Amino acid sequence: MRVYEYAKENNVTSREVIEKLKQLNIEVSNHMSTIDEDDMKKLQGKVTENQKDTNQKKETKQQTVEGKKQNDNRQDKKGNQSKQTKQSKPNFPQKNQNAKHNKKQSKGGRKGKKENVVNSQQQKETKMESPTKITYSSTLTVSELASKLHKDASEIIKHLLFLGVMATKNQDLDDDAIELICSEFNVEVEKEIILEDTDFDKYVQEDDEKDLIERPAIVTIMGHVDHGKTTLLDAIRESKVTAGEAGGITQHIGAYQIKVDNKKITFLDTPGHEAFTSMRSRGAQVTDIAILVVAADDGVMPQTVEALNHAKAAEVPIIVAVNKMDKETANPDRVMQELTEYELIPEDWGGETIFVNLSALQHEGIDDLLEMILLVAEVEELKANPKASAFGTVIEAELDRGKGSVATLLVQNGTLQVGDAIVVGSTYGRVRAMVNDLGRRIKSAGPSTPVEITGLNEVPQAGDQFLVFKDEKKARQIGEARQQKSIQENRSEQTKVSLDDLFEQIKQGEMKEINIIIKADVQGSAEALSSSLQKIDVEGVKINIIHAGVGAINESDIILASASNGIVIGFNVRPDVNAKKAAESENVDVRLHRVIYKAIEEIEAAMKGLLDPEFKEKVIGQAEVRETFKVSKIGTIAGCYVTDGKITRNAGVRLIRDGVVLYEGEIDTLKRFKDDVREVAQNYECGITIKNFNDIKEGDVIEAFVMEEIKRV
Ligand SMILES: Nc1nc2c(ncn2[C@@H]2O[C@H](COP(=O)(O)OP(=O)(O)OP(=O)(O)O)[C@@H](O)[C@H]2O)c(=O)[nH]1
């Protein structure tokens, strides 16, 4: 038990407990120090004051914990509460809160607070005395807390100092600090969580007509495989972005902008592979004009039709680019003829569709196409308000080893600034740095501009929308609320499934759909794995990808898997600490792979009842790299701290940076101080070198694993 907890239970101050412990010659450094049962027994004799209150206090504490549990359970029931009340949100174990919670726990803190719906009647506020209970939402500054407790700010600051925290009057206090201070004053505290409206529509303000200015058209190039989309995109880029401008290297951020006749056009790089179909259909939502590329020698093909249907569904005007005109077999008339079936009738034939004949390869007809784009853009009267709060869509996002979450955003309205508080999909953050399509750092980006940003606390998904908020707190609240909402929306109640018993369940007819969650290091892999898995053909069973995203496997993935009876597949990524714990307690099957076909093979084998692995990997521990030393003959020595389990000399290791596996190999040396050791246990420091690998950095995680034999059945 912590000193402050003991103090709270016994109705004395932490200081008094520390004093008494000192008298008993029991060494403690501060209120967070732990005392064991023996110490408590010894203390019992010393602390006699207010004993009467003890039992009652215990009861309250019990209730608090129970209340918390109940809340968690309540949330499990599909978050009914949040649907019914707008004022308050039940205490759901939020990922971020938990992350913080766990971090604190490892340092020795704990939360006994009841984050609950406020019962205002319970609040008794008298002038001089402290209230018995206070409530707060989000955070409190020192002075705000002082006034709630009817104390002087200086008194709170004094207490904080004693807790080892230097704070000024206007400083925000975190939940733990608030609780500790309240416990010092014997005041119960509840956190009131406001349920935010998660819809961006609620926050987007109507633009004033006079603020609207012309904005560049956003163009997507669509078409059948090999009809020349990429070649055309490159030809356009090369024709207008001069080498000098691009500095020789054009940064690829999933979109680029060119200038024609002093007018800008934004092109989205839409991938042409079938695995990206979903992304393409989303792409059409931000698109103002679609270029339908049709090879003059090949004519209208299945994906041509698919693409034009996407564009039509999104009510986006289509310009037909009849490509490969340089080929001898080119037959543009046939293309026109075929497209009339889909109501794309050329102007020459009395219709309204613009057709441009070109050769992307030979850069012929590109200027005509650009001219037509400007023409259509003019007719469309594309406008935006640069003064508005920036709003737009994620084009691409990935987890970068060095930069963290990196997202390419397309600003559709308003102006995005460095430093803006932003909610993106169900994540949020502050725009830390912004880079344009030429790889240059910029400070602001107006309507129709594609930019790459860093600073988000998680990796959003392509197609997610973003909105800037003036207030960072608000952005955080809305981001968290949206995250909860997306988790809840994905929930359903079923029994758990693991790959090992999949076949049994299929045989017994219990399983007709297999729900899979995919997390990968880059969007491309996630999409590719997802489309390949969907193609597995086992009679009567369907694979259902309920989520495919980029980044480390996190707690919300596990919660989603647990709720929807799914399996999590990690491709080149690992579960973070909270996810690991959740997977264990929720019994969620997490499969980690580094090769796509192996992941596919495994699932297919499981579906056919052939999964019978002889060995199974078992992770035995994790160490955090705290320092690195470069020694010329040895290489990089990682000064580590074992955070979980143990590291053994003969274990296999993986080097993980920001949730991404950088390297898998063996330990070369494992040392405690100067000595070689066989193993190092949790909470101990050690020095590790990895065989043939030196790219180790502070903050990396070294994961140790062994292969365990599985008995054949
Ligand atoms: N002769 C000729 N060949 C072209 C032209 N445009 C593209 N090609 C060729 O057609 C092939 C396919 O072109 P891509 O640009 O890769 O086609 P894509 O539509 O992007 O293909 P996916 O990315 O696979 O969907 C390449 O070999 C190009 O060199 C053209 O105008 N004339």
pLDDT tens by residue, 449-459: 999 999 998 89
Confidence of residue 314 (pLDDT cuts 50, 70, 90): low
Confidence of residue 598 (pLDDT cuts 50, 70, 90): confident
Does the C-beta of 366 come closer than 6 Å to ligand 1?
no
Q: Taking a C-beta distance cutoff of 8 angstroms, is the pair 708, 616 a contact?
A: yes
Helices (H), 31-90: 37-46, 51-76, 80-84
Does the C-beta of 323 come closer than 6 Å to ligand 1?
yes
Whether residue 30 is predicted with pLDDT greater than 80 in this model: the reply is no
Confidence of residue 128 (pLDDT cuts 50, 70, 90): low
Whether residue 11 is predicted with pLDDT greater than 90 in this model: the reply is no
Q: What is the pLDDT of residue 58?
A: 38
Residue positions forming the annotated binding site for GTP = 223-230, 269-273, 323-326
Confidence of residue 376 (pLDDT cuts 50, 70, 90): very high
Does the C-beta of 324 come closer than 6 Å to ligand 1?
yes
The amino acid that residue 558 corresponds to is I
Specify the DSSP class assigned to residue 131: P
Distance CA 447, CA 458 (A): 24
Whether residue 62 is predicted with pLDDT greater than 70 in this model: the reply is no
Does the C-beta of 321 come closer than 6 Å to ligand 1?
no
Q: What was the ipTM of the complex prediction?
A: 0.98
* The 318-323 sheet, strands edge to edge: 255-260, 263-268, 217-223, 289-295, 318-323, 354-357
* Mean local confidence (pLDDT), 261-266: 91
Q: Taking a C-beta distance cutoff of 8 angstroms, is the pair 275, 288 a contact?
A: no
Name the residue of 222, 226, 279 whose CB sits within 8 Å of the most ligand 1 atoms, as the mutation to test its pocket.
226
Q: Which of 706, 682, 698, 681 is nearest to 637 (CA)?
A: 698
Highest mean pLDDT range out of 140-154, 308-322, 345-359?
345-359
Name the residue of 225, 227, 230, 231 whose CB sits within 8 Å of the most ligand 1 atoms, as the mutation to test its pocket.
231
Does the C-beta of 226 come closer than 6 Å to ligand 1?
yes
Chain-wide mean pLDDT for the chain? 78
Whether residue 604 is predicted with pLDDT greater than 90 in this model: the reply is no
Report how far ligand 1's centroid is from the alpha carbon of 596 (Å).
27
Report how far ligand 1's centroid is from the alpha carbon of 437 (Å).
23
* Mean local confidence (pLDDT), 31-38: 76
Report how far ligand 1's centroid is from the alpha carbon of 478 (Å).
44
Does the C-beta of 280 come closer than 6 Å to ligand 1?
no
**CA of 364, closest atom in ligand 1:** 31
Whether residue 548 is predicted with pLDDT greater than 60 in this model: the reply is yes
Q: Report which of residues 124 and 148 the model is more confident about.
A: 148
Atom 9 in ligand 1: which residue has the minimum CA distance?
A: 228
Q: Where are the beta strands (DSSP E) in 180-248?
A: 188-191, 213-214, 217-223
Percent of the chain with pLDDT over 90: 30
Does the C-beta of 662 come closer than 6 Å to ligand 1?
no
Q: Which of 167, 162, 194, 192 is nearest to 180 (CA)?
A: 162
Does the C-beta of 225 come closer than 6 Å to ligand 1?
yes
Does the C-beta of 230 come closer than 6 Å to ligand 1?
yes
Does the C-beta of 301 come closer than 6 Å to ligand 1?
no
Confidence of residue 216 (pLDDT cuts 50, 70, 90): very high
* Mean local confidence (pLDDT), 47-57: 45
Least confident stretch, 123-132, 361-370, 613-622, 642-651: 123-132
Task: Say how many C-beta atoms besides its own lie within 10 A of residue 558's C-beta.
Answer: 28
Does the C-beta of 596 come closer than 6 Å to ligand 1?
no
Q: Report which of residues 420 and 176 the model is more confident about.
A: 420
Q: Which residue(s) pair with 355 in the sheet?
A: 320
Report how far ligand 1's centroid is from the alpha carbon of 528 (Å).
21
Decide the pairing of beta strands 590-593 and 566-571. parallel
Report how far ligand 1's centroid is from the alpha carbon of 295 (Å).
9
Report how far ligand 1's centroid is from the alpha carbon of 240 (Å).
20
Q: pLDDT tens for residues 227-250?
A: 999 899 889 988 776 544 444 444
Confidence of residue 196 (pLDDT cuts 50, 70, 90): low
Whether residue 79 is predicted with pLDDT greater than 50 in this model: the reply is no
**CA of 358, closest atom in ligand 1:** 31
Whether residue 381 is predicted with pLDDT greater than 80 in this model: the reply is yes
Does the C-beta of 415 come closer than 6 Å to ligand 1?
no
Q: What is the pLDDT of residue 709?
A: 65
* Mean local confidence (pLDDT), 684-692: 93
Q: What is the pLDDT of residue 614?
A: 56
Q: pLDDT tens for residues 82-119?
A: 333 333 322 323 333 333 333 333 373 333 333 333 33
Encoding tokens for residue 57? Answer: 């206090």
Least confident stretch, 10-19, 222-231, 392-401: 10-19
Q: Report which of residues 384 and 249 the model is more confident about.
A: 384
* Mean local confidence (pLDDT), 179-187: 87
Report how far ligand 1's centroid is from the alpha carbon of 343 (Å).
25
* Mean local confidence (pLDDT), 326-344: 94
Confidence of residue 355 (pLDDT cuts 50, 70, 90): very high
Q: pLDDT tens for residues 464-519?
A: 889 999 888 888 888 888 877 766 655 433 445 677 777 776 766 666 778 888 98
Report how far ligand 1's centroid is from the alpha carbon of 360 (Å).
8
Atom 25 in ligand 1: which residue has the minimum CA distance?
A: 225
Report how far ligand 1's centroid is from the alpha carbon of 522 (Å).
25
Atom 21 in ligand 1: which residue has the minimum CA distance?
A: 226
Report how far ligand 1's centroid is from the alpha carbon of 348 (Å).
27
Q: Which of 645, 633, 634, 640 is nearest to 655 (CA)?
A: 640
Does the C-beta of 228 come closer than 6 Å to ligand 1?
yes
Report how far ligand 1's centroid is from the alpha carbon of 304 (Å).
14
**CA of 362, closest atom in ligand 1:** 31
Q: Report which of residues 265 and 9 the model is more confident about.
A: 265
Does the C-beta of 363 come closer than 6 Å to ligand 1?
no
CA distances from 28 to 11, 17, 45, 131, 397 (A): 19, 10, 18, 31, 48
Q: What is the pLDDT of residue 33?
A: 73
CA distances from 193 to 146, 381, 443 (A): 20, 44, 34
Q: Which of 620, 613, 566 is nearest to 588 (CA)?
A: 566
Q: Where are the beta strands (DSSP E) in 472-614?
A: 513-520, 542-550, 566-571, 590-593
Q: What is the pLDDT of residue 281?
A: 39
pTM (two decimals): 0.49
The amino acid that residue 385 corresponds to is N
Name the residue of 221, 222, 225, 230 whose CB sits within 8 Å of the most ligand 1 atoms, as the mutation to test its pocket.
230
